[in-house]
Structure 1
Amino acid sequence: MARAMKEMHLRSESRDEALEYVQSLFDARFSPVRTGGEFHFDHSRMDCEDWTLDDLTFEGGGFASEPYGTVTVCRVRTGGIEIASNRVERQFSAGSLFVMADAQEAHTTRWFDSSCTLVRIPVARLEKMAERCLLEESGFSILGREPVSTNAARKWLDVVRFSHRLTLDDAGSDLTRRAFGDLIAALTLETFPNTAVAESADVRVREDAPSVLAQALEFMYVNADTPIRVADVARFSCVSRRTLEMMFRDHMSSTPVKYLRDCRLRRIRQELSEARPGDGTTVTLVAGQYGFSSMSRLASYYHDKFGELPHETLRRHEG
């Protein structure tokens, strides 16, 4: 029997009312954070099976939250949002698409006269999707907040917009909403760096890994197209190079040098895979953006990792 889609909405100028409402939605403990100015909170949610679509306009406030067991992806439409956790502190402006919160991550969010769209996906659904695609049991944790490429972000947004329009029409059945939930989960795995999908992480991070290691991994992936070195990663992470190398050895059975090279190889493969006929993409051009001046060395690393040469990836997707 089809289950009616559940919709919720609150528009309020009261911090206490907004706080109580948010805690009921997320089933977690929140505390208010002030940002100055008048307070305005306008939120609506469509509850589609076990994933949700939220629309939020927020001025003059924010929340500190304990972990609430879902991955939340945010698209900022206007204004700005600041996210702070034990891993990283970032600011995002209009047009940004990013992971607001990992499932097991306490964080503080401040909204600055902003409006945004939020998609919340349970970790269990992402793990189930990863197992279905990889045919193996796989843990899940976010490694980077931002999309692996602009094309991946565009595909994710297109699907979310279409599913939003469809679910507004009650003719969209439970089956349809469930299918879109699966598609959004799969695209989330492809779009944001994580430990479940091989294309996002070739090495698995142990569950007891320190938070500083997760911070280093995110820094390396996000900055793979810049000339950073291991010393820069250690400096960013506020640890010595030796300490960083020991963390990689103990928790990832890898090295910072190899992981940084693999990040760059994955980004190169992503860009070659997104090439279209006539757009000017060449292996040399893309390789140079990620610091590879020797095409023979790139070809060797690339073939060892992906089982084909860079120009074969490019030719397959252009054709």
Structure 2
Amino acid sequence: MSAHTGSTPPALTRFVTDDMEQVREYLGRIYGTRLLIGRVSEGSSRLALSVVDAGSFVTTDLTLPGTQNCRNQDIETVRIGVVVSGTVTIDDGDAVNRYGPGDALVATFPRDDLVSHAEELRIRTVSLPLDLLADVAGVALNGEPPRLLSRSPLGPDASRTIAGTLALTDELLSGPAAGHPLVVGNAARLLAAGVLATFPTTLTLREEARADHAGATPVVLRLATAYIEEHYAEPDLSLARIAAAACATPRAVQYAFRRHHDITPMGYVRRVRLAAAHADLLAADPAAGATVSAIAARWGFYHLGRFSAYYRRVYGHTPRTTLAT
């Protein structure tokens, strides 16, 4: 993405189709060539996509038909989403998170390798270059690349922040000054500031980290762990909810888990859910129609290959072996 210049408004494109090959081709072109779309359920409605390309950023309004599984790899832009309707579950290899209407999320971050499972999803997104976020944060991009600390926002207020920023940007870009480069440039910086205020990354981890380190006590860990053990079956369990239950900031909870368990909070949630899937596999009867994929999906693991890899790493054999015993 390059800076938008000149006096013409940002380009608006609308696309509607029920041809799944066109869906794959178009989404790959918009979101990256490594976005792979899996099976789409029968009787799906049409895909609808509106794209505003402002040069320095791109916003989209996407309606995905039916049930879809996608994979993102090596996409270098930062893409933030706000769910309008339906649900999406993202497995980034560290944690499995489920999002519903009103939730904000990080759809892609540089060097991601993730899979997602969408059901009747409509989502608003904005894509920004990483160097713009670094510039707004006042951080030089040299040495170790920035890291995303959580795909989920820092609480419900943070979700509303990014949703409001997107709405304000839409208003700016639909007004009479939309073609002015100052309007577009400042809209891009506004979006970047909203992203930095909503999601924890190492771009903004400076002095506040000291207070979070101090708050990462065993008491915080105990409260957070107890809450996870009680609520792990709930698909909307998030870092913000865990932190609120532990009376700590999300970063303090992250530090506590890293310090004492060498794992992220949502990674711990995945571990507990994997144990639940293991128990279900042991108790299930394949002769009665039980399947590995259905049990995995019950616990939020929609990518069967990744679930099998997690499972083998922990239990030493495949989930199919457990089901068959």
Question: How does the TM-score come out when normalised to structure 2?
Answer: 0.60
1:26/1:35 Cα in 2 relative to 1: closer, same or farther (>3 Å)? closer
Asked if 2 retains the 8 angstrom alpha-carbon contact of 1:71 and 1:102, the reply is yes
Question: Which residue identity lines up with residue 66 of structure 1 in the other structure?
Answer: Q
Partner in structure 1 of residue 244 of structure 2: 225
Counterpart pick for 2:25 among 20, 35, 45: 20
Q: Could you tell me how far apart the structure 1 residues matched to 2:246 and 2:168 are?
A: 38
Partner in structure 2 of residue 80 of structure 1: 87
Asked if 2 retains the 8 angstrom alpha-carbon contact of 1:46 and 1:52, the reply is yes
1:100/1:149 Cα in 2 relative to 1: closer, same or farther (>3 Å)? same
Question: Which residue identity lines up with residue 15 of structure 1 in the other structure?
Answer: M
Asked if 2 retains the 8 angstrom alpha-carbon contact of 1:194 and 1:201, the reply is no
Q: Could you tell me how far apart the structure 2 residues matched to 1:69 and 1:4 are?
A: 25
Asked if 2 retains the 8 angstrom alpha-carbon contact of 1:71 and 1:101, the reply is yes
Q: Could you tell me how far apart the structure 1 residues matched to 2:58 and 2:49 are?
A: 13
Question: Which residue identity lines up with residue 27 of structure 2 in the other structure?
Answer: V
What are the ranges of 5 or more consecutive residues in structure 2 without an aligned counterpart? 1-5, 211-237, 248-252, 266-325
Q: Could you tell me how far apart the structure 1 residues matched to 2:141 and 2:92 are?
A: 33
Q: Could you tell me how far apart the structure 2 residues matched to 1:13 and 1:6 are?
A: 24
1:71/1:25 Cα in 2 relative to 1: closer, same or farther (>3 Å)? same
Displacement after TM superposition at 1:161 (Å): 0.2
Counterpart pick for 1:169 among 166, 175, 183: 175
Displacement after TM superposition at 1:10 (Å): 1.5
SS at match of 2:194: helix
Q: Could you tell me how far apart the structure 2 residues matched to 1:22 and 1:200 are?
A: 40
Q: Could you tell me how far apart the structure 2 residues matched to 1:66 and 1:97 are?
A: 21
Q: Could you tell me how far apart the structure 1 residues matched to 2:53 and 2:204 are?
A: 27
Counterpart pick for 1:196 among 187, 203, 206: 203
Partner in structure 1 of residue 158 of structure 2: 152
The 5 A counterparts of 1:199-214 are 202=209
Asked if 1 retains the 8 angstrom alpha-carbon contact of 2:134 and 2:141, the reply is no
The 5 A counterparts of 1:107-126 are 107-126=114-133
1:9/1:194 Cα in 2 relative to 1: closer, same or farther (>3 Å)? same
Displacement after TM superposition at 1:27 (Å): 3.5
1:96/1:221 Cα in 2 relative to 1: closer, same or farther (>3 Å)? closer
Asked if 2 retains the 8 angstrom alpha-carbon contact of 1:51 and 1:121, the reply is yes
Structure 1 moving runs of 4+ over 4 Å: 134-139, 219-222
Corresponding residue pairs, total: 226
Q: Could you tell me how far apart the structure 1 residues matched to 2:86 and 2:77 are?
A: 24
The 5 A counterparts of 1:22-171 are 22-39=27-44, 40-60=46-66, 61-131=68-138, 139-169=145-175, 171=177
Asked if 1 retains the 8 angstrom alpha-carbon contact of 2:102 and 2:159, the reply is no
Partner in structure 2 of residue 7 of structure 1: 12
Displacement after TM superposition at 1:58 (Å): 0.9
SS at match of 1:117: strand
Displacement after TM superposition at 1:29 (Å): 1.7
Displacement after TM superposition at 1:23 (Å): 1.6
Question: How does the TM-score come out when normalised to structure 1?
Answer: 0.61
- Sequence identity (%): 19
Q: Could you tell me how far apart the structure 2 residues matched to 1:104 and 1:164 are?
A: 28
User: Which structure exhibits the higher relative contact order, with contacts defined as CA atoms closer than 8 Å and separated by 6 or more residues?
Assistant: 2
Displacement after TM superposition at 1:192 (Å): 0.6
Partner in structure 1 of residue 188 of structure 2: 181
Q: Could you tell me how far apart the structure 1 residues matched to 2:145 and 2:132 are?
A: 11
The one-character-per-residue Cα deviations of 1:128-167 (angstroms, maximum 9, x if unpaired) are 22226x9999842211122213333323222210111221
1:149/1:92 Cα in 2 relative to 1: closer, same or farther (>3 Å)? closer
What are the ranges of 5 or more consecutive residues in structure 1 without an aligned counterpart? 204-218, 249-255, 257-319
